[in-house]
Structure 1
Amino acid sequence: MSSPTAPSKPLDVAIVGAGLGGLTAAIALRRQGHLVKVFESSLRSRDIGAAIGIPPNSMRVLETLGYSLGNLRSTEYRGVVAYNADGSKAYTATFKDQAENYGVQGCMCHRSELHDELKRLALSEEGAGVAVEIHLGTEIVDCDPEAGRFTAQTGEKYDADVIVAADGIRSTMRTIVIGHPVVAPATGLCAFRWMADASKLEGKPEFDWVLKDGISGGRLVVGQDYARRCFLYPCRDRTLINVTMMHPDKRDQDQHSWYARVTRSDVLEEYKDFGPFFQSFIALVEDPINMWQMRALPVLSTWSKGRLVLLGDAAHATLPTLGQGAAMAVEDAGALGCMLPFGTTPQQVPARLAAYQDLRKERDEFVTVESLEQATVPAKRGLFHRSEEMQDLLNGYDAIAAAQEHFKKTFVVS
């Protein structure tokens, strides 16, 4: 006489990192019926950074997770208007109708709005599954991937059936998966990042190029050799202008912190060859200004080991050139949820994580490599804006449908 089938149980899931990728994974796995805990080293659950683009491929995942677009206070991203450094118009790159061709219109928003919306979906008592637990001020420093046991800096130990490493470009968990440290190498590029108050543009026609002229979307200002370029766009109901100014870094980047504070004078000096129309815009910035080194991870040999798996920047941190870095983390999270449906047993987890890697690795690495090359190889600069084929490849992808199909082919016996 055979024994009755044991009832299905939820998996105990631990996620290291409460950024955009970690929270999206928490929501996706919560909605599958699992018990999810997020461990964040900082004492505040907030996302570091300014604004962000949300292309159609990541919006499609967010829709399946029940997000509210209105809570993002976003602006539609319909293309880019490019200007030369002297103020003359270079070109307008209008994207194809994204709602018609991809089923959803991409947008731009402040990172904090998206982060807050993900926290709402993770922590709310309403919605599918059990609310996620977030443990702040808990830095995870070690892990036994085979046993599913991990250790906090305090020495406290935890156990989980699945451990998701969403701890960013400087991931501690990545060293455990790979077996040795992998540091994102210097690219020789850095960027000033700051926010401008849109109210300062009112009543000043010389700034109409920022918000009023042209299509809804980004504004690109490029120097003569394209080595210095600025990308800006509105967010938070068009009350703020997000500005990223990328240029060569004269310093030995490995001898300096990845992050520094600079002044408006530093910015004006770096971009002194740009014309008055842009100089007057830079004059709106208030000190201090953030300067970040632009770094990207090399291709990794693997993303998973036992019950531990990498997600987002921990696996494939990249440059913002294609506007797809965070989108890949959101896609990862949606796909991971599909690989671990309710009823997955702890014994099945390693194979499911390997399947997630098989599905995601090639696409994520394509974005990483292209983003780096389109920032550093002169002939490829601006290629994404010119290539409808590449836009279709990235924006038209349905991460949830692809993951469901991959799961079916890999694990469902017909």
Structure 2
Amino acid sequence: MASEQKRIRIAVVGGGIGGLCLALGLLRHPQLDVHVYEAAPQFAEIGAGVAFGINAQTALFKLDPRIRPAYETIRTSNVDASTDAEQKKATYFRIQLGMDHKNGKDKADDQICEIMCVGGFSSVHRARFLDSLVALLPEKVMQDNVSFGHRFVDLKELPDGKVQLEFANGKTAEADAVIGCDGIKSEVRQILLGRDRPESKPRFTHKYAYRGLIPMERARAELGDRQAQNSHHNLGYDGHVLTFPIDKGKTMNVVAFQTMERDWDQSDWVKQVKKEDLVRDFQHWGANVRKIIGMMERCDMWALFEHPPSHTYHKKGQICLLGDAAHASTPHQGSGAGMAIEDAYILSSLLGDIQDTSMLEAVFHAYETVRKARTQLLVSRSHEQSMLYDFQADGIRDDVSKLAEILPRRWDWIWDEDLEVELRDARSILNQKAPNASKPNI
């Protein structure tokens, strides 16, 4: 084991899915001294269900072999998804009309297409998934390597090349490098890119969503087993409604999207509204969508923001961004959390290859080189996806036949990524920046 004096101290700001996955990957390397700083009094996730494609699952299980059995105990799949036996693919989502088409022929609940993928649909409850990751952290790590109640506010470069983190509670900490995993409102991002630069702050997408959890027994009674127990996108004019099972099939997760022409004029991105406002937004939709809306008890409106593309993810081997802090996306391709997990796998692997701080800048450069284009593409493609779902895409609009042709291929570039090739490319870049300085742990 590397001596305490030579260990590379990595400060992870943010203990959400991305930050915890990164920490689990880094803790496997004895030359790295990892410390997680979380603003909340405990690890917690906002939101309910999150879907993971085969790419995200692959990265997750590579990060730490212990994650696979933990994941399998909480994952939820479709109940009756059709399967393409020849390609060994199963249904990820069914996409259907959520309201009657203006052509007078196509009706609500008519299927547009099925999205197929290896393994089919897989979702988890965010909080339970985070709990399963936390359970993998040894008690000593929780005591010595995690600080709660530490809201990061500023960063200073020290004369010896280290950085000093400052927190709202008045405390400070030193590290060789800080990795911002602090989400879409990332303070680390603003420091890295410059607080006055437009690219440092998220932008409103003119979309908002209502979120809800419905007991599966009630959903089955109202909608029938097929609609309630399987994942569906219900498309319509200027909005769409997503449903999928979570909690091992005990709950139906709902996200109902709508379009807003005006800008979001509140500092808080979650707004309490009345049930009649929610019902009014979907009053012209089909019977099943109206039933779903009627079963939703929470009436919170969530504004949807995304990050404009940033020119870099790192600076001087001292600061680096990961997950939503680097490339916050809308949820329309269901891959934001998955990209953060991919980031964590690549970055933790590269950091595990080095033995001293002189290599940090080369590591961050290699990480950015292989990750930036892919992750920023997700932001733009997810934005495009919302336009397709809401019949707003130029040249397509509400053309059901075109949607049926286009949508099934929209996820291939996400799911088909070979992470080992990506990591090999990153290691090659790392060696070019500093020949013979890395020692890949393959």
TM range (shorter): 0.7 to 0.9
Partner AA of 2:302 in structure 1: W
Between the aligned partners of 1:85 and 1:304, the Cα distance in structure 2 is 46
Cα contact 2:96–2:234 (8 A) shared by 1: yes
Between the aligned partners of 1:300 and 1:383, the Cα distance in structure 2 is 31
Q: Does 1:294 align with 2:304?
A: yes
Question: Counterpart of 2:22?
Answer: 25
User: Out of 363, 370, 382, which is 1:371 matched to?
Assistant: 382
Deviation string 1:68-120 (CA, Å, 9 cap, x unpaired) is 22232322562324233146333253344504xxxxx5511111122112212
Q: Quote how far apart the aligned CAs of 1:18 are.
A: 0.6
Question: Counterpart of 1:142?
Answer: 154
Structure 2: gaps of 5 or more residues: 79-90, 101-106, 437-442
Change (3 A) 1:7 1:187: closer
Between the aligned partners of 1:153 and 1:109, the Cα distance in structure 2 is 33
Q: Where do residues 194-343 of structure 1 align in structure 2 (5 Å cutoff)?
A: 194-204=212-222, 206-211=223-228, 216=230, 218-223=231-236, 225=237, 227-249=238-260, 251-255=262-266, 257-286=268-297, 288-306=298-316, 307-343=318-354
Q: Quote how far apart the aligned CAs of 1:312 are.
A: 0.7
The secondary structure found in structure 2 opposite 1:397 is coil
The secondary structure found in structure 2 opposite 1:402 is helix
* TM-score for both structures, normalised by structure 1: 0.87
| Cα RMSD for the two superposed structures | 2.8
The secondary structure found in structure 2 opposite 1:44 is coil
Displaced runs of 4 or more, over 6 A: 5-8, 129-132, 380-385
Partner AA of 2:138 in structure 1: S
Deviation string 1:208-255 (CA, Å, 9 cap, x unpaired) is 34235xxx4x211222x2x11111101001111111111112553034
The secondary structure found in structure 2 opposite 1:369 is helix
Between the aligned partners of 1:11 and 1:359, the Cα distance in structure 2 is 23
Question: Counterpart of 1:357?
Answer: 368
Q: Which has the higher contact order (CA 8 A, sep 6+)?
A: 1
Question: Counterpart of 1:49?
Answer: 47
Between the aligned partners of 1:183 and 1:339, the Cα distance in structure 2 is 28
Q: Where do residues 164-183 of structure 1 align in structure 2 (5 Å cutoff)?
A: 164-181=179-196, 182-183=200-201
The secondary structure found in structure 1 opposite 2:309 is coil
Partner AA of 1:398 in structure 2: D
Change (3 A) 1:79 1:255: closer
Partner AA of 2:122 in structure 1: C
Between 378-387 and 234-243, the greater mean CA deviation after superposition:
378-387
Change (3 A) 1:131 1:138: closer
Change (3 A) 1:387 1:228: closer
Give the count of matched residue pairs.
394
The secondary structure found in structure 1 opposite 2:344 is helix
Q: Quote how far apart the aligned CAs of 1:411 are.
A: 1.3
Q: Quote how far apart the aligned CAs of 1:387 are.
A: 4.8
Between the aligned partners of 2:240 and 2:303, the Cα distance in structure 1 is 15
Q: Where do residues 51-130 of structure 1 align in structure 2 (5 Å cutoff)?
A: 51-64=49-62, 65-66=64-65, 67=67, 68=69, 69-76=71-78, 78-86=92-100, 88-91=108-111, 93-99=113-119, 106-121=121-136, 123-124=137-138
Change (3 A) 1:254 1:383: farther
Cα contact 1:51–1:108 (8 A) shared by 2: yes
Between the aligned partners of 1:138 and 1:7, the Cα distance in structure 2 is 24
Q: Does 1:404 align with 2:415?
A: no
Deviation string 1:241-297 (CA, Å, 9 cap, x unpaired) is 1111111125530345311122322211111111333222222122x3221111111
